[in-house]
Protein backbone atom coordinates (compact mmCIF):
# COMPACT_ATOMS: atom_id res chain seq x y z
CA UNK A 1 0.00 0.00 0.00
CA UNK A 2 1.15 3.57 -0.76
CA UNK A 3 2.99 5.32 2.07
CA UNK A 4 1.07 8.38 3.21
CA UNK A 5 3.39 11.26 3.99
CA UNK A 6 0.80 13.52 5.65
CA UNK A 7 -0.07 12.90 9.35
CA UNK A 8 -2.88 10.50 10.22
CA UNK A 9 -6.13 12.34 10.87
CA UNK A 10 -6.99 9.86 13.63
CA UNK A 11 -5.75 6.94 15.69
CA UNK A 12 -6.81 5.01 18.75
CA UNK A 13 -4.15 4.79 21.45
CA UNK A 14 -4.18 3.99 25.17
CA UNK A 15 -7.97 3.82 25.28
CA UNK A 16 -8.45 7.23 23.62
CA UNK A 17 -9.36 8.50 20.19
CA UNK A 18 -6.62 10.89 19.09
CA UNK A 19 -7.67 13.39 16.43
CA UNK A 20 -5.54 15.76 14.42
CA UNK A 21 -7.37 19.08 14.72
CA UNK A 22 -8.09 19.78 11.04
CA UNK A 23 -9.44 23.24 11.87
CA UNK A 24 -5.85 24.30 12.56
CA UNK A 25 -4.23 22.91 9.39
CA UNK A 26 -2.03 24.23 7.77
CA UNK A 27 -1.01 26.64 10.57
CA UNK A 28 -0.19 23.97 13.15
CA UNK A 29 -0.48 20.31 13.98
CA UNK A 30 -2.34 19.83 17.25
CA UNK A 31 -3.98 16.70 18.54
CA UNK A 32 -7.11 16.34 20.64
CA UNK A 33 -7.68 13.30 22.85
CA UNK A 34 -11.24 12.03 23.08
CA UNK A 35 -12.44 9.79 25.89
CA UNK A 36 -16.19 9.40 25.27
CA UNK A 37 -18.73 8.83 22.51
CA UNK A 38 -20.23 12.27 23.20
CA UNK A 39 -16.73 13.75 22.83
CA UNK A 40 -16.34 11.95 19.50
CA UNK A 41 -19.76 13.18 18.32
CA UNK A 42 -18.84 16.77 19.25
CA UNK A 43 -15.47 16.50 17.49
CA UNK A 44 -17.24 15.29 14.34
CA UNK A 45 -19.85 18.06 14.53
CA UNK A 46 -17.16 20.70 15.12
CA UNK A 47 -15.13 19.32 12.19
CA UNK A 48 -11.99 18.54 14.17
CA UNK A 49 -12.20 15.40 12.05
CA UNK A 50 -14.06 15.68 8.74
CA UNK A 51 -14.52 14.02 5.37
CA UNK A 52 -17.06 11.20 4.98
CA UNK A 53 -14.78 8.13 5.33
CA UNK A 54 -12.72 9.65 8.17
CA UNK A 55 -15.78 10.56 10.25
CA UNK A 56 -17.09 7.03 9.70
CA UNK A 57 -13.91 5.56 11.17
CA UNK A 58 -13.83 8.15 13.98
CA UNK A 59 -17.42 7.15 14.81
CA UNK A 60 -16.43 3.47 14.89
CA UNK A 61 -13.82 4.29 17.54
CA UNK A 62 -16.42 6.53 19.21
CA UNK A 63 -18.58 3.41 19.56
CA UNK A 64 -15.67 1.68 21.34
CA UNK A 65 -15.62 4.57 23.82
CA UNK A 66 -19.42 4.49 24.16
CA UNK A 67 -19.74 0.70 24.26
CA UNK A 68 -21.47 0.70 27.67
CA UNK A 69 -24.42 2.58 26.20
CA UNK A 70 -24.31 1.60 22.53
CA UNK A 71 -27.78 2.73 21.45
CA UNK A 72 -27.30 6.20 22.93
CA UNK A 73 -23.78 6.47 21.50
CA UNK A 74 -25.00 5.37 18.07
CA UNK A 75 -27.75 7.99 18.06
CA UNK A 76 -25.37 10.80 19.06
CA UNK A 77 -22.71 9.83 16.54
CA UNK A 78 -25.09 9.42 13.60
CA UNK A 79 -26.73 12.77 14.37
CA UNK A 80 -23.38 14.59 14.46
CA UNK A 81 -23.42 15.22 10.69
CA UNK A 82 -26.54 14.32 8.72
CA UNK A 83 -25.34 14.08 5.10
CA UNK A 84 -22.30 11.76 5.22
CA UNK A 85 -23.76 8.26 5.25
CA UNK A 86 -20.40 6.68 6.14
CA UNK A 87 -21.19 7.66 9.73
CA UNK A 88 -24.31 5.52 9.85
CA UNK A 89 -22.58 2.76 7.92
CA UNK A 90 -19.75 2.52 10.45
CA UNK A 91 -22.01 2.82 13.50
CA UNK A 92 -24.33 0.10 12.15
CA UNK A 93 -21.32 -2.19 11.67
CA UNK A 94 -20.30 -1.55 15.27
CA UNK A 95 -23.82 -2.24 16.57
CA UNK A 96 -23.67 -5.69 14.97
CA UNK A 97 -20.85 -6.71 17.33
CA UNK A 98 -22.54 -8.91 19.93
CA UNK A 99 -19.62 -8.98 22.38
CA UNK A 100 -19.53 -5.43 23.79
CA UNK A 101 -16.15 -5.83 25.48
CA UNK A 102 -13.49 -3.24 24.69
CA UNK A 103 -11.35 -5.90 23.00
CA UNK A 104 -14.10 -7.07 20.63
CA UNK A 105 -15.37 -3.58 19.82
CA UNK A 106 -11.85 -2.28 19.22
CA UNK A 107 -11.06 -5.25 16.98
CA UNK A 108 -14.10 -4.39 14.83
CA UNK A 109 -13.23 -0.68 14.64
CA UNK A 110 -9.68 -1.59 13.60
CA UNK A 111 -11.03 -3.97 10.99
CA UNK A 112 -13.20 -1.18 9.49
CA UNK A 113 -10.22 1.20 9.60
CA UNK A 114 -8.04 -1.30 7.75
CA UNK A 115 -10.75 -2.07 5.20
CA UNK A 116 -11.31 1.65 4.59
CA UNK A 117 -7.61 2.14 3.79
CA UNK A 118 -7.75 -0.73 1.29
CA UNK A 119 -10.89 0.69 -0.36
CA UNK A 120 -9.16 4.05 -0.85
CA UNK A 121 -6.11 2.36 -2.40
CA UNK A 122 -8.28 0.41 -4.86
CA UNK A 123 -10.36 3.46 -5.80
CA UNK A 124 -7.12 5.34 -6.50
CA UNK A 125 -5.77 2.62 -8.78
CA UNK A 126 -9.08 2.26 -10.64
CA UNK A 127 -9.43 6.00 -11.11
CA UNK A 128 -5.85 6.57 -12.23
CA UNK A 129 -6.58 4.63 -15.43
CA UNK A 130 -8.97 7.42 -16.46
CA UNK A 131 -6.39 10.19 -16.22
CA UNK A 132 -4.66 10.76 -19.55
CA UNK A 133 -1.13 12.12 -20.06
CA UNK A 134 -0.57 15.81 -19.19
CA UNK A 135 -4.00 16.17 -17.61
CA UNK A 136 -5.28 19.35 -16.05
CA UNK A 137 -7.58 18.20 -13.29
CA UNK A 138 -9.96 20.24 -11.15
CA UNK A 139 -11.08 19.24 -7.66
CA UNK A 140 -13.30 20.66 -4.93
CA UNK A 141 -13.17 20.45 -1.13
CA UNK A 142 -10.78 17.86 0.33
CA UNK A 143 -10.93 14.17 -0.48
CA UNK A 144 -7.39 13.16 0.46
CA UNK A 145 -5.78 11.41 3.45
CA UNK A 146 -7.18 13.93 5.96
CA UNK A 147 -10.73 13.23 4.75
CA UNK A 148 -10.41 9.49 4.49
CA UNK A 149 -7.79 8.14 6.90
CA UNK A 150 -6.44 6.40 3.78
CA UNK A 151 -4.74 7.66 0.61
CA UNK A 152 -7.94 9.47 -0.34
CA UNK A 153 -10.72 9.06 -2.87
CA UNK A 154 -10.54 11.90 -5.41
CA UNK A 155 -7.04 12.92 -4.23
CA UNK A 156 -6.05 9.27 -4.08
CA UNK A 157 -6.80 9.04 -7.81
CA UNK A 158 -4.75 12.18 -8.41
CA UNK A 159 -1.87 10.74 -6.37
CA UNK A 160 -1.97 7.41 -8.22
CA UNK A 161 -2.05 9.27 -11.56
CA UNK A 162 0.59 11.85 -10.55
CA UNK A 163 2.91 11.06 -13.51
CA UNK A 164 0.08 12.09 -15.85
CA UNK A 165 -0.84 15.27 -14.02
CA UNK A 166 0.06 18.61 -15.54
CA UNK A 167 -1.82 20.77 -12.99
CA UNK A 168 -4.46 20.32 -10.33
CA UNK A 169 -6.81 23.27 -9.98
CA UNK A 170 -7.92 23.37 -6.35
CA UNK A 171 -11.18 25.19 -5.66
CA UNK A 172 -10.80 27.01 -2.35
CA UNK A 173 -14.21 25.75 -1.08
CA UNK A 174 -16.02 28.49 0.79
CA UNK A 175 -16.95 28.83 3.59
CA UNK A 176 -14.55 26.48 5.45
CA UNK A 177 -11.81 26.53 2.82
CA UNK A 178 -11.07 22.80 2.81
CA UNK A 179 -9.54 23.21 -0.67
CA UNK A 180 -7.28 26.13 0.23
CA UNK A 181 -6.26 24.81 3.63
CA UNK A 182 -6.22 21.02 3.31
CA UNK A 183 -6.06 19.92 -0.34
CA UNK A 184 -3.35 22.48 -1.09
CA UNK A 185 -1.39 21.25 1.95
CA UNK A 186 -1.63 17.61 0.87
CA UNK A 187 -0.78 18.23 -2.79
CA UNK A 188 2.22 20.38 -1.84
CA UNK A 189 3.60 17.59 0.32
CA UNK A 190 3.08 15.16 -2.55
CA UNK A 191 4.89 17.63 -4.85
CA UNK A 192 2.04 17.53 -7.38
CA UNK A 193 1.81 20.74 -9.47
CA UNK A 194 -1.27 22.67 -8.38
CA UNK A 195 -2.90 26.08 -8.46
CA UNK A 196 -5.42 27.46 -6.03
CA UNK A 197 -8.50 29.12 -7.51
CA UNK A 198 -11.53 30.75 -5.90
CA UNK A 199 -14.83 28.93 -6.30
CA UNK A 200 -16.19 31.39 -8.85
CA UNK A 201 -13.25 30.82 -11.23
CA UNK A 202 -14.03 27.22 -12.25
CA UNK A 203 -16.08 27.86 -15.41
CA UNK A 204 -13.68 30.59 -16.58
CA UNK A 205 -10.68 28.25 -16.20
CA UNK A 206 -12.49 25.51 -18.11
CA UNK A 207 -13.19 27.93 -20.97
CA UNK A 208 -9.81 29.67 -21.08
CA UNK A 209 -7.02 27.39 -19.79
CA UNK A 210 -8.86 24.10 -20.37
CA UNK A 211 -9.56 21.29 -17.93
CA UNK A 212 -9.34 17.59 -18.86
CA UNK A 213 -11.22 16.10 -15.91
CA UNK A 214 -13.02 17.08 -12.73
CA UNK A 215 -12.74 14.66 -9.85
CA UNK A 216 -14.38 14.97 -6.43
CA UNK A 217 -15.45 12.75 -3.54
CA UNK A 218 -18.95 12.19 -2.16
CA UNK A 219 -20.73 12.11 1.19
CA UNK A 220 -23.78 10.11 0.15
CA UNK A 221 -24.71 8.51 -3.16
CA UNK A 222 -28.33 7.49 -3.78
CA UNK A 223 -29.28 4.24 -5.55
CA UNK A 224 -29.70 6.12 -8.84
CA UNK A 225 -26.23 7.72 -8.66
CA UNK A 226 -27.30 11.19 -7.46
CA UNK A 227 -24.32 12.27 -5.35
CA UNK A 228 -24.11 14.64 -2.39
CA UNK A 229 -20.80 16.40 -1.90
CA UNK A 230 -19.48 19.71 -0.60
CA UNK A 231 -21.55 22.76 -1.53
CA UNK A 232 -20.34 24.01 -4.91
CA UNK A 233 -19.97 20.55 -6.44
CA UNK A 234 -23.28 20.85 -8.31
CA UNK A 235 -22.21 24.18 -9.92
CA UNK A 236 -18.94 22.53 -10.89
CA UNK A 237 -20.76 19.59 -12.54
CA UNK A 238 -22.97 21.99 -14.54
CA UNK A 239 -19.89 23.90 -15.71
CA UNK A 240 -18.14 20.64 -16.61
CA UNK A 241 -21.13 19.47 -18.67
CA UNK A 242 -21.28 22.79 -20.54
CA UNK A 243 -17.57 22.59 -21.38
CA UNK A 244 -17.55 18.85 -22.20
CA UNK A 245 -15.22 18.04 -19.31
CA UNK A 246 -15.63 14.52 -17.83
CA UNK A 247 -16.97 14.75 -14.27
CA UNK A 248 -15.95 11.92 -11.92
CA UNK A 249 -17.04 11.05 -8.40
CA UNK A 250 -14.70 8.77 -6.42
CA UNK A 251 -16.21 6.94 -3.44
CA UNK A 252 -16.26 3.59 -1.61
CA UNK A 253 -19.37 1.42 -1.19
CA UNK A 254 -19.72 2.78 2.37
CA UNK A 255 -20.78 6.10 0.80
CA UNK A 256 -23.65 4.52 -1.12
CA UNK A 257 -27.03 4.73 0.56
CA UNK A 258 -29.10 2.02 -1.08
CA UNK A 259 -32.10 3.10 1.00
CA UNK A 260 -32.10 6.49 -0.75
CA UNK A 261 -33.83 6.24 -4.11
CA UNK A 262 -32.67 9.63 -5.35
CA UNK A 263 -31.54 13.04 -4.17
CA UNK A 264 -34.98 13.59 -2.61
CA UNK A 265 -33.98 11.13 0.13
CA UNK A 266 -30.66 12.84 0.95
CA UNK A 267 -30.69 15.16 3.97
CA UNK A 268 -28.59 18.28 3.52
CA UNK A 269 -26.64 19.52 6.53
CA UNK A 270 -27.13 23.23 7.28
CA UNK A 271 -24.39 24.71 9.42
CA UNK A 272 -24.10 27.82 11.57
CA UNK A 273 -24.38 31.05 9.60
CA UNK A 274 -21.28 32.29 11.45
CA UNK A 275 -19.20 30.17 9.05
CA UNK A 276 -20.36 32.55 6.31
CA UNK A 277 -20.28 35.79 8.27
CA UNK A 278 -16.82 35.55 9.85
CA UNK A 279 -13.33 34.67 8.60
CA UNK A 280 -10.74 33.98 11.29
CA UNK A 281 -13.07 35.51 13.89
CA UNK A 282 -13.42 38.75 11.88
CA UNK A 283 -16.83 39.84 10.57
CA UNK A 284 -16.77 40.16 6.78
CA UNK A 285 -20.26 41.40 6.03
CA UNK A 286 -22.76 44.06 7.01
CA UNK A 287 -23.67 44.06 10.71
CA UNK A 288 -26.96 42.22 11.26
CA UNK A 289 -26.97 40.50 7.85
CA UNK A 290 -28.23 36.91 7.88
CA UNK A 291 -26.62 34.13 5.83
CA UNK A 292 -27.55 30.75 4.40
CA UNK A 293 -25.12 27.89 4.92
CA UNK A 294 -26.03 24.57 3.30
CA UNK A 295 -22.89 22.47 3.65
CA UNK A 296 -23.61 20.08 0.77
CA UNK A 297 -25.46 19.95 -2.52
CA UNK A 298 -26.51 17.05 -4.72
CA UNK A 299 -25.25 16.52 -8.25
CA UNK A 300 -27.82 14.61 -10.29
CA UNK A 301 -26.52 11.39 -11.86
CA UNK A 302 -27.20 12.80 -15.34
CA UNK A 303 -24.27 15.21 -14.84
CA UNK A 304 -21.83 12.49 -13.67
CA UNK A 305 -19.66 10.82 -16.29
CA UNK A 306 -18.68 7.94 -13.98
CA UNK A 307 -18.42 6.90 -10.35
CA UNK A 308 -15.04 5.41 -9.45
CA UNK A 309 -15.33 2.70 -6.79
CA UNK A 310 -13.13 0.02 -5.26
CA UNK A 311 -14.81 -2.53 -7.56
CA UNK A 312 -14.27 -0.58 -10.75
CA UNK A 313 -15.85 2.28 -12.65
CA UNK A 314 -19.61 2.79 -13.06
CA UNK A 315 -20.02 4.60 -16.37
CA UNK A 316 -23.17 6.72 -16.79
CA UNK A 317 -24.53 6.10 -13.30
CA UNK A 318 -28.29 5.47 -13.10
CA UNK A 319 -30.60 3.18 -11.14
CA UNK A 320 -30.04 0.52 -13.81
CA UNK A 321 -26.23 0.73 -14.07
CA UNK A 322 -25.82 1.01 -10.28
CA UNK A 323 -28.10 -1.98 -9.65
CA UNK A 324 -26.23 -4.06 -12.22
CA UNK A 325 -22.85 -3.06 -10.80
CA UNK A 326 -23.70 -3.91 -7.18
CA UNK A 327 -25.80 -7.04 -7.86
O1 LIG B 1 -17.67 19.17 5.40
P2 LIG B 1 -16.54 18.23 5.08
O3 LIG B 1 -15.21 18.88 5.06
O4 LIG B 1 -16.59 16.99 5.94
O5 LIG B 1 -16.88 17.77 3.61
C6 LIG B 1 -16.10 16.81 2.99
C7 LIG B 1 -16.44 16.58 1.57
O8 LIG B 1 -17.37 17.13 1.04
C9 LIG B 1 -15.63 15.55 0.85
O10 LIG B 1 -15.55 15.86 -0.51
C11 LIG B 1 -16.32 14.20 1.01
O12 LIG B 1 -16.52 13.90 2.37
C13 LIG B 1 -15.57 13.13 0.37
S14 LIG B 1 -14.10 12.78 1.26
C15 LIG B 1 -13.39 11.48 0.56
Helices 70-80 and 86-95 cross at an angle (nearest 10°) of 170
**Is the residue at 3 inside a domain?**
no
Ligand 1 pocket test, candidate residues 57, 157, 177, 178, most atoms within 8 A of CB: 178
Residue 115 maps to a domain: yes
Residues in the chain with pLDDT < 50?
none
CATH code for position 62: 1.20.120.420
Ligand 1 within 6 A of CB of 182: no
For residue 6, what pLDDT is reported?
A: 81
- pLDDT attached to residue 7: 87
The strand ranges marked E within 141-226 are 165-171, 194-197, 213-216, 220-222
Domain co-membership, 117 together with 154: no
Using CB atoms within 10 A of its CB, is residue 196 exposed (0-12), middle (13-18) or buried (19+)? middle
Contacts of 36 (CB under 8 A, 6+ apart): 65, 66
Give φ, ψ of 119 to 5 degrees: -60, -45
Does the global pTM surpass 0.95? yes
139 CB within 6 A, ligand 1: no
Look at residue 5 in the predicted model and tell me its pLDDT: 76
pLDDT attached to residue 1: 58
Ligand 1 center from residue 53 Cα (angstroms): 8
Same domain flag for 147 and 253: yes
Q: Are residues 159 and 308 in the same domain?
A: yes
> Of 106, 121, 136, which one is at a domain's C-terminal end?
121
Residue with CA nearest ligand 1 atom 2 = 51
- Domain ranges, residue 40: 10-121
Whether the bond into 175 is cis, omega within 30 of 0: yes
| Burial bucket for residue 294 (CB in 10 Å: 0-12, 13-18, 19+) | exposed
Does any domain span residue 5?
Answer: no
Question: Domain with 250 in it: what CATH number?
Answer: 3.40.50.10470
99 CA distance to ligand 1 middle (Å): 32
pLDDT digits (tens, 9 = 90+) for 152-169: 999 999 999 999 999 999
Do residues 86 and 193 share a domain? Answer: no
The pLDDT tens digits for 79-98 are: 999 999 999 999 999 999 99
Annotated active-site residue 219? The verdict is yes
Residues 178 and 115: their CA atoms lie apart, in Å, by 25
Q: Where are the alpha helices (DSSP H) in 34-133?
A: 37-45, 52-65, 70-80, 86-95, 102-128
Amino acid sequence: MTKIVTPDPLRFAKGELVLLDQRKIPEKKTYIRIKSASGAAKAIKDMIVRGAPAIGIAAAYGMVLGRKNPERSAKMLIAARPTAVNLKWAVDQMLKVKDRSCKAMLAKAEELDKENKKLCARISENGAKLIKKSSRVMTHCNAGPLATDGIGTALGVIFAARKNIDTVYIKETRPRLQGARLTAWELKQWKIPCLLISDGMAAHIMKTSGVDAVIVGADRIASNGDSANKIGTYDLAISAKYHNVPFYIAAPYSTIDFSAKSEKDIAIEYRDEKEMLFIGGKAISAPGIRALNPSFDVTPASLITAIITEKGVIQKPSLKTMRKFYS
